[in-house]
Structure 1
Amino acid sequence: MDRILLRLSSPSRGCAFASSLAAMEDLEKSRELFEYTSGRWIYNEPRRLAERRLAFNVDELLKAAAKSVNRPTSDIQSFRKIAEGGFNRVFDISMKDGSSVLARLPYPSTLPRSLAVASEVATLAFVGAHGIPTPRVLGYSADNNAVGAEYILMEKLSGRPIGDAWFDLSEQERLKVLLQIVKLETKLFAIDLPASGSIYYAHDLPPNTPKIDIPGSDGGLCIGPYAALRWWFGERGDLDIDRGPHEDPCLVLQTPAEKELAWIRAYGRPRFPFERAHRETFDYKKQDPKEHANSLVNYIRLAPHLVPSCSKLNLPVLRHPDLQPNNIFISEDFSITGLIDWQHSLVLPTFLAAGMPNLFQNYDDEESMSFVPPQLPDDFESMDEEERARAQEQFRRQHVHFFYLGFTQRMNEPHWHALEQETGLLKRRIFNDASSPWEGLNTSLEMDIVRVSQNWSKIAPADSDGTISACPIMFTEREVQRRAALDESLREVDSEMERINRALGIASDGWTPNESFESAKEKARLIKEEGLAAVSDDPWLKEMTEQHWPFDDCNEDE
């Protein structure tokens, strides 16, 4: 995308026309700097843009950037936006000598305010001191300031993000990157941490905030409240609740569910499932938060039994929160030069922190689950072009999954030990579903509880006499079948929506590149016409389908 280069000097204006033209140019520059311009949304676009709108004092940001590298502002050559995502906007401040400072500003909608920046700055310093390549922080502000926005000033990493090139790497190039990732993760798993939570400088936390000092750290680093978005989403930031840190793994399991219970008691009301495609499964009826509250209570009863008896599995571990191609920087020879975006990082017990990054896992594939070396099909050469493309993509996913596990088994024993646990994946899934903000859907947590009860003999630790206590939550066969059928129905809907989104060329939230927007809108319009025509003989169903159509603007909180 063409970027506007904001020069720090302005041309003289000698006439009204020139003045008007300059005003238009200033308006366009302001839009480029303060507004999201890297894509469009085919529905609810005004809301997405409002979430990402951030006006700030450019001159004050430039002053702060120059000061961070002991330069006068006159040394600044240019200022331009280079990236923007779901939570932040990044600017390049280039100096006349060719060096650069990067300024990263979170959107007003990015939560938790102040703590997200404070935690990321401390986390970058902490992992950098333990051999993880990250950008060096030159300055930051997590409070009110002259810029009018929170910010982090960082050095510019060498290299480039892998980005979409990840999918086109050769086998050897992929293996080189994978091996380095696992080596870096091995360093993280070897760090001794005193508790679960998020990392901060103690001086950045509000007075009386619970914290546990990190022994041996320079600069007063500590473990403080969880900085993950789920703890602060919506009105959750206003709740007076326990947000950590926690030394007891049982509290790590229980408190996120207690957070959701507190929110439901204070703010919960019947609502439709957030994903509009799910609403037909529930006959377009609003769901009662009391049902989710009951599931949360059941989960809390199970939580003490989910804690592993092996002490090594309870050791706190820090991992990168979003290990995806745009956050991995590489050199021309595919050496990793840095990992960026540590926002919302968590320290969790090993059994909860373990797991394959989404970029590498292929759990839906039977061959990957059996941990066997992948191979292309015997008839690969005789396939047509479309079949070959599918087979190559399947092989790529299997290849990445297999070698990530293989390297982990060889080099990162603590992580491999956690991955080997038969019920580890289920424990992590139920923890995540119980922790997630309730948005009208209870099925995932319900089904997790069913699976825990079905695998109770593998999960519950044995008593001193070798016996295993009965599962505190029991279901009739009819209840299990009802929950399983509902879960399967929703999974089918999800699969169908993924297929449609691919056909439209949009992400799950409706985002699409600028150049694809009009085409995606037109395709969505045609799909809607076909969908309504398919139910035209049922007036009520047609009305509900139109009212809850997934690709139209809507009230996301209803």
Structure 2
Amino acid sequence: MDTGRTVVARIPTSVAGPSRLTTNSEVATISYLKSKLSLPIPKILAWSDDPNNPAGIEYIIQEHVDGAQLHGQWPQMTSSEHMHCTKDLSFKLRDMATLEFPAYGNIYFADAPIDATSKIPLEDGFCIGPYCNPLFWNCGAGDMEMYDERIQKAGLPTLIHADYNKRNIYVSPKDTTQITGLIDWQLTCIEPAFIYAHSTPDFAALPDINPAEENDQPNSADEQWLLKDLAICHQTYDVIMTYKTPKLRPARELDSSLFRLFHYCFTTWRDGIPAIRQELMDLKGIWADLQLPGDFPYSPDEKEIAEHAQQYEDFETKQKLKAWLKIQMQTTSDGWVPNEVWEAAKEANKAAYDEWIESACSEGMTVEEADKLWPFDSR
């Protein structure tokens, strides 16, 4: 601004979500959370969900976040700082999970442009209404015939930030263990607790080792340090989510075969069908052990099983390759890197691609087969 003040102006893309609802829900969610908890969320200065306003488009104007993006600070931090930063974030997630809600859905202002029959009153001028993110649920909190008692206990309506990763977290440059800002609340909505049960921030997720390496052993001291560091962060996050967050504990203790389908059903556009088909097969094998009623409804024939085996092997290889690349290039699963390191990242990506092709071909793959498994557009 002319005054020297910095603000952030955001407008929705055409695929962000339904018109008006996406903007209204994000602002309402932030406002509701700021009224209930002491979370470091940037203050909203102005907003409009009506594209007929003088600007001609929906918009949100927010204060600029104080601090530095965690993604840029992480490589310079010590393991102790990583652990304490993970602990700080985990307790913020726990605080969000303590909030109680009467239903699943998105939070809106009470006067949101939604049909009155689709609004469930919340409090203080807020309501719960239809989902406006890409995930879709064909059941509500009252549809008890959709799940048994174990699922009910593990499916309490829960609100947690949907995309905790290093690029959405800001920390103090003077004390990187202190989180100063959390951004990108667009997809935050009230979900069954088990949706969040095994979600892990990118800096606390345990990866697979490079599939091209023999015996799955780290190939350098730096990689061994990274894996040890991730294990510490993962353990810190896991303990707080399991033992300090009562609403998530039943879900984290529940056999994950009962709800992993929900995690894969909305990623088939990206990963294909093998993951969700494998979950169906695994669930079929333990259906009786879980004491679930009736016969399992999915029964593939031998030909389908044989075709799936090859497809799933490729799927697993691709996931392990992506996990290895995240370690090697310190990137996220979608390949994001800061603009200032883009040129260096392209060179590292090209070197990793060449190494992958050479290793895969030495194991009997063709170049075309290996190239098809590469997870990023850039080669």
Same fold per TM (> 0.5)? yes
Q: CA distance change for structure 1 residues 449 and 183 in 2, over 3 Å: closer, same or farther?
A: same
- For the Cα contact (< 8 Å) 1:212–1:245, is it kept in 2? no
Report which stretch shifted further, 471-480 or 123-132.
Answer: 471-480
1:409-448, aligned counterparts within 5 Å? 409-421=242-254, 423-424=255-256, 426-436=257-267, 438=269, 441-448=272-279
Residue 473 in structure 1 maps to residue 298 in structure 2: yes
Matched residue of 2:191: which SS?
A: strand
1:88 paired residue number: none
Matched residue of 1:435: which SS?
A: coil
Structure 2 length as normaliser, TM-score? 0.77
- For the Cα contact (< 8 Å) 1:182–1:411, is it kept in 2? no
Q: How far off is 1:131 after superposition? A: 1.0
Q: CA distance change for structure 1 residues 415 and 509 in 2, over 3 Å: closer, same or farther?
A: closer
Q: Which letter maps to 1:107? A: T
Q: How far off is 1:132 after superposition? A: 4.0
Residue 165 in structure 1 maps to residue 58 in structure 2: no
Q: CA distance change for structure 1 residues 459 and 329 in 2, over 3 Å: closer, same or farther?
A: farther
- For the Cα contact (< 8 Å) 2:114–2:129, is it kept in 1? no
Residue 388 in structure 1 maps to residue 221 in structure 2: yes
Give distance in 2, aligned partners of 1:223 and 1:322: 21
Tell me which of 136, 140, 144 is aligned to 1:246: 140
Tell me which of 188, 195, 200 is aligned to 1:357: 200
Q: Which letter maps to 1:309? A: R
Q: CA distance change for structure 1 residues 387 and 435 in 2, over 3 Å: closer, same or farther?
A: closer
Q: How far off is 1:138 after superposition? A: 1.9
Tell me which of 209, 226, 241 is aligned to 2:131: 226
1:340 paired residue number: 183
Q: CA distance change for structure 1 residues 454 and 170 in 2, over 3 Å: closer, same or farther?
A: same
2:168 paired residue number: 327
1:316 paired residue number: 157
2:48 paired residue number: 141
2:29 paired residue number: 123
1:110 paired residue number: 16
Structure 1 length as normaliser, TM-score? 0.55
Q: Which letter maps to 1:322? A: D
Matched residue of 1:456: which SS?
A: coil
Matched residue of 2:313: which SS?
A: helix
- For the Cα contact (< 8 Å) 1:328–1:336, is it kept in 2? yes
Matched residue of 2:102: which SS?
A: coil
1:24 paired residue number: none
Q: Which letter maps to 2:181? A: G
Give distance in 1, aligned partners of 2:45 and 2:179: 21
Q: How far off is 1:492 after superposition? A: 1.9
- Report Cα offsets for 1:352-410 as digits up to 9, x if no partner: 232232425545569xxxxxxxxxxxxxxxxx9x6110100110111111111123344
Q: CA distance change for structure 1 residues 348 and 506 in 2, over 3 Å: closer, same or farther?
A: closer
5+ residue gaps, structure 2: 210-217
- Report Cα offsets for 1:524-553 as digits up to 9, x if no partner: 69x79x98xx99xxxxx9999999999889
- For the Cα contact (< 8 Å) 2:208–2:320, is it kept in 1? no
Q: Which letter maps to 1:354? A: A
5+ residue gaps, structure 1: 1-75, 78-94, 232-242, 252-303, 367-383, 462-467, 536-540, 554-558
1:156-305, aligned counterparts within 5 Å? 156-207=64-115, 210-214=118-122, 217-219=123-125, 221-230=126-135, 246-248=140-142, 304=146
- For the Cα contact (< 8 Å) 2:206–2:230, is it kept in 1? no
Q: How far off is 1:120 after superposition? A: 0.7
Q: Which letter maps to 1:106? A: P
Q: Which letter maps to 1:200? A: Y
2:214 paired residue number: none
1:454 paired residue number: 285
Q: CA distance change for structure 1 residues 249 and 360 in 2, over 3 Å: closer, same or farther?
A: farther
Q: How far off is 1:345 after superposition? A: 1.2
- For the Cα contact (< 8 Å) 2:49–2:58, is it kept in 1? yes
Residue 407 in structure 1 maps to residue 240 in structure 2: yes
- For the Cα contact (< 8 Å) 2:317–2:373, is it kept in 1? no
Matched residue of 2:181: which SS?
A: strand
Q: How far off is 1:320 after superposition? A: 0.3
2:212 paired residue number: none
- For the Cα contact (< 8 Å) 2:206–2:231, is it kept in 1? no
- Report Cα offsets for 1:401-432 as digits up to 9, x if no partner: 111112334421322332122x22x3443113
Identity among equivalent positions (%) equals 24
Q: How far off is 1:503 after superposition? A: 8.4
